[in-house]
């Protein structure tokens, strides 16, 4: 199976976790896109009664075009289940997200959900986080100074671009990617980044996900945080 087929597999599997009447958080990215297509079919065929909150304008549009009800997060009390993708997941269920620049809304939706489920192909499972550049969402005002601080800290920053322009997130911020190679102490790094003025959010998702569905060449593996012991 190629990577796309694995993404389809986990997307279809994840949709089985959605039950009629649920409030569902929809993630972002290419794996989630396939999941939302699959959910759209279920909602139509089974006339499911679900309400969704989206982690990006793009996913919201896709879902609405498929006839799925999407409401603003502020009109929703408590999300039952959020299904999202990830860029890297370590063995202790820490993750990097934001490859599609949606990390801020994704973290807000995830932390307002009773359960968080990630869907990935096996290439995303790693021993240690950090090979994937860590996205940091920053306020545009004065961001070049923050960029210089990251350089001095040895974090090898690059601005995320959209063609010739600086990429803007759904909240109109910039993304600076940190090319760290390996992250030895994710909690310490998360605290350090959160304490820097101008940083809105970072892509380290620590202690957030409950369940991971991994697409492998031998089929689907479902991993639970509880199994970590
Ligand atoms: O900002 C984007 C999100 O964090 C995505 O969920 C993540 O980048 C994974 O995306 P994909 O399924 O396209 O690899």
Residue 226 in any domain: the answer is: no
Residue 86 lies in domain:
3-124+206-217
| Spacing, Cα 27 to ligand 1 middle (Å) | 8
Dist. CA 194–CA 134, nearest whole Å: 13
pLDDT, mean over the chain: 97
Q: Residue 106: which CATH number?
A: 3.40.50.1360
Dist. CA 160–CA 163, nearest whole Å: 10
Catalytic residues: 106
Dist. CA 132–CA 175, nearest whole Å: 14
Q: Residue 162: which CATH number?
A: 3.30.70.260
Q: Supply the pLDDT for residue 228.
A: 73
Are residues 15 and 99 part of one domain? yes
Q: Give the ipTM of the model, two decimals please.
A: 0.98
- pLDDT greater than 90 at residue 137: yes
* Burial per residue of 62-91, b for 16 or more beta-carbon CB atoms within 10 angstroms, e otherwise: bbeeeebebeeeeebeebbbbbbbbbbbbe
* Domains in the chain, number: 2
User: Tens of pLDDT along 196-211?
Assistant: 999 999 999 999 999 9
- pLDDT greater than 90 at residue 124: yes
Are residues 138 and 72 part of one domain? no
Cβ of 98 less than 6 Å from ligand 1: yes
Are residues 161 and 82 part of one domain? no
Q: Supply the pLDDT for residue 166.
A: 97
Are residues 92 and 30 part of one domain? yes
Cβ of 11 less than 6 Å from ligand 1: no
Cβ of 9 less than 6 Å from ligand 1: no
- pLDDT greater than 90 at residue 13: yes
- Annotated ligand binding at 65? The verdict is no
Are residues 157 and 49 part of one domain? no
Are residues 116 and 13 part of one domain? yes
Are residues 164 and 106 part of one domain? no
User: Tens of pLDDT along 42-60?
Assistant: 999 999 999 999 999 999 9
User: Tens of pLDDT along 143-199?
Assistant: 999 999 999 999 999 999 999 999 999 999 999 999 999 999 999 999 999 999 999
- pLDDT greater than 80 at residue 108: yes
Are residues 173 and 193 part of one domain? yes
Are residues 82 and 160 part of one domain? no
Q: Supply the pLDDT for residue 226.
A: 83
Residue 160 in any domain: the answer is: yes
Are residues 110 and 18 part of one domain? yes
Q: Supply the pLDDT for residue 229.
A: 62
């Amino acid at each position: 199976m190629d990577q796309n087929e694995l993404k389809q597999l986990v997307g279809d599997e994840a949709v089985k976790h959605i039950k009629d009447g649920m409030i569902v958080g929809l993630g972002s990215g290419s794996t989630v896109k396939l999941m939302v297509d699959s959910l759209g079919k279920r909602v139509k065929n089974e006339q499911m009664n679900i309400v969704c909150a989206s982690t990006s304008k793009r996913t919201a549009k896709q879902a609405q075009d498929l006839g799925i009800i999407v409401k603003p997060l502020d009109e929703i009390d408590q999300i039952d289940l959020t299904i999202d993708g990830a860029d890297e997941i370590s063995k202790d269920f820490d993750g990097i997200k934001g490859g599609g620049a949606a990390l801020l809304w994704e973290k807000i939706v995830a932390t307002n959900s009773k359960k968080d489920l990630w869907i990935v192909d096996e290439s995303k499972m790693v021993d240690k986080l950090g090979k994937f550049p860590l996205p940091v969402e920053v306020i545009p005002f004065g961001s070049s100074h923050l960029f210089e601080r990251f350089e001095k800290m040895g974090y090898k920053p690059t601005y995320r671009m959209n063609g010739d322009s600086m990429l803007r997130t759904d909240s109109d911020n910039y993304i600076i990617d940190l090319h760290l190679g390996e992250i030895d102490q994710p909690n310490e790094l998360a605290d350090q980044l959160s304490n820097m003025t101008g940083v809105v959010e970072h892509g380290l998702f620590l202690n957030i996900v409950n369940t991971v569905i991994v697409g492998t060449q031998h089929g689907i593996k479902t991993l639970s945080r509880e199994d970590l012991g």
